[in-house]
Amino acid sequence: MKDKIRALTNRTSQQDPRAVLIRLGQIMRGWANYFKHAVCKNTLDSIENFVWRRVIRWWMALYRWKWKDVPPAPHRPHRTVAQTLGRRIELFNIA
């Protein structure tokens, strides 16, 4: 799963952020549904943090942001990149 996320959020990628967020949501939802009975909350939480960091790093490279330019993350459980940028696409809350 992490390889798929890394491939989608490559720092040199010029893909449409909307399409990437939709695909990330699909991947995370499918993975969580498949493993929901076998994986503990800590594992799901760490994957959610991994995705959040990868997307923010990708957007920092894409939009040439510094850390001070990154909008503050909404608090869990509603932490989504889409809400941060005023769009309507949300990352799936895997935990």
Longest dimension (CA), the chain: 40
pLDDT given for residue 88 in this prediction: 57
Does 19 fall in a domain? Answer: yes
Which domain range does residue 67 map to? 15-84
Q: What is the pLDDT of residues 22-67, one digit of tens each?
A: 888 888 888 888 877 776 777 888 888 888 888 888 888 888 888 8
Query: What span, in angstroms and rounded, lies between the C-alpha atoms of 42 and 50?
Result: 12
Look at residue 32 and tell me if it is in a domain.
yes
The predicted-structure confidence for 65-93, as pLDDT tens digits, reads as follows 888 877 666 555 445 555 455 555 666 66
- Name the pTM for this structure: 0.67
- What is d(CA 73, CA 3) in angstroms, rounded to the nearest whole number? 24
Provide the number of structural domains found in the chain.
Answer: 1
Task: State the DSSP code for 71.
Answer: P
